[in-house]
Amino acid sequence: VDLAHAARLGRCSARQAGAHAGVEGGKLAPLLGPRRTAMEVDEEVRSDGAALVYAVLCSSDPGLLGALVGALVAPEIHRLACGCRDLRSLLAAPGVGFLCPRLRPRTPFAFGAALTGCVATQLRSFRPAEDFDSLAFLPELAARLRNLTRLEEFGPILIDISSDVVIDTGAGALSGSALPGPITQGTSRFQGVPARTLLPALAEGFAHCRLLAELDLTVHCSDAPSAQLAAEVLLPAIGSCRSLRSLSLDLDATLPMGPLLVTGVARLLGRLATSGDSRLRRLSLGYFWWSEVSEETLSSIRDALAALANDGTGGLRGGLRELAVMYPQDQELGGLDAACAALQGACPTLEEVVVVDAWGEDGSGLSALRDFLCGCPRLRQADIVGELPADFDFGAFSGPVRAATAAAEDGNVVRFNSAEGWRRAAAHAVSVRDRRRHEKRAVEAEAEEARGSWIAD
């Protein structure tokens, strides 16, 4: 390092610095020891797990090499090289699994391999980089989820419960209670099973994830048996995750199956409410069929949300702070009206609300949304994003809300299609696709706001 500094100051050339360091033609020389040949040094360095660094140095400018070689022979660097070698062998040990508390697989193959190969008790966060088809990982997830007892962050996870998946019957990962019911007949080691047969194993797995705090889940469903099993087994089991603080749930189902899945959500929230110590503060509900849900189910959701905030003596102990309603599939059929009726139980504690494209083309449902927001005394910010009717009266909507909430003195309680509103919608989105679309809209809205500010100036 001193030689390099001298070269920079012009006291000697880079080549002279290299010569002083004992470097000639890119090879390590007597600086490393008077009785050690280059071959011996080469063998020792490679055995210490520094082959890559050594190759780079041997092809470097002699001046650069001379500046670095003195530091490379220091005992601390030697110990670091040995430590890196040992650490790499430990992380990749086939008999143990790779030890990493935060995984972010970028391909479907990596998703399944990560679930199979990780040390389950060490995993804290599992955040896939894309929306992967559950065909690539569902058997592995069903087999391993019950072992992820220290998992805290999970998702986005997309589960198509109406599809078929292929399992390796010779691997032994799915057996006993992990794979209830008979599998498809066949002589091959790899056999197909309906995805719904794995739901009991998934439910058992979620019941073991007692530390799970954040879950982003999408459920695809198009047949009645799968929807019924999800509503009775899978979704209620998520309610066993008592540490759950943030739940983002998309129910991408056909019209007949949608109400069944919403019934499962009511059971999920009811189980969280009866646990007595629920920590749920953030809830996002996307792609629901609200209008076809029975009054009994809507009432169950309302009561469960109210119970989450009730301390048992009439006071408030917790409850939701953030709520998002995104892309109901029945905007023209009164979906937003039904959603507002079901979610009224969360009103006393709500502070932030995001609503994305939840109303009809003629604005149906917006009056119910206004009344819902007026019933939230702690509301500090509401973001309404999406295509609004051409004759929509912004003042008539936001005025009563501002007057009825605690943030009246703060000014603009309700924002329409703002850049910040689209960013918050992106933060609540379950799928990566929706998140990217919202972020793009945020950039466009920000440019529009900047243009409007420039014109005003």
Q: Flag whether pLDDT at 153 surpasses 90.
A: yes
- Please choose, from the candidates 285, 141, 295, the residue with its C-alpha nearest in 3D space to the C-alpha of residue 218: 285
Average pLDDT over residues 347-374: 94
Q: Flag whether pLDDT at 96 surpasses 90.
A: no
Which of 5-14, 83-92, 382-391 has the highest average model confidence (pLDDT)?
382-391
Cβ within 8 Å of residue 167, ≥6 positions away: 139, 174, 179, 183, 190, 191, 192, 193
Residue 83: pLDDT band by 50, 70, 90 thresholds?
low
Strand order across the 352-356 sheet: 102-103, 125-126, 153-160, 214-221, 246-253, 282-286, 322-326, 352-356, 381-385, 414-416
| Cβ atoms of 104 and 128 closer than 8 Å | yes
- Please choose, from the candidates 395, 406, 333, the residue with its C-alpha nearest in 3D space to the C-alpha of residue 370: 395
Report phi then psi at 335, rounded to 5.
-65, -40
Q: Flag whether pLDDT at 7 surpasses 70.
A: no
Least confident of 73-77, 162-166, 172-176, 320-324: 172-176
Residue 224: helix, strand or coil by DSSP? helix
Least confident of 204-213, 293-302, 309-318, 341-350: 309-318
Mean per-residue pLDDT of the chain: 80
Q: Flag whether pLDDT at 295 surpasses 80.
A: yes
pLDDT reported for residue 455: 66
Which of 84-88, 278-282, 369-373, 408-412 has the highest average model confidence (pLDDT)?
369-373
> Element (H or E) spanning 192, and its range?
strand 190-194
Q: Flag whether pLDDT at 386 surpasses 90.
A: yes
pTM metric for this prediction: 0.75
- Please choose, from the candidates 373, 301, 366, the residue with its C-alpha nearest in 3D space to the C-alpha of residue 335: 366
The Cα–Cα gap between 292 and 97 comes to: 47
pLDDT reported for residue 116: 84
Q: Which residue has the higher pLDDT, 98 or 339?
A: 339
CA 315, 320, 322 angle in degrees (round to 5)? 145
Tokens standing for 305? 């949300």
Q: What is the pLDDT of residues 27-39, one digit of tens each?
A: 433 334 444 444 4
Residue 23: pLDDT band by 50, 70, 90 thresholds?
very low
The Cα–Cα gap between 379 and 402 comes to: 9
pLDDT reported for residue 159: 94
Cβ within 8 Å of residue 61, ≥6 positions away: 14, 18
pLDDT reported for residue 108: 87
Which of 162-171, 209-218, 268-277 has the highest average model confidence (pLDDT)?
209-218
pLDDT reported for residue 136: 85
pLDDT reported for residue 193: 87
Please report the beta strands in 239-388, taking only residues with DSSP state E, as ranges in sequence order: 246-253, 282-286, 322-326, 352-356, 381-385
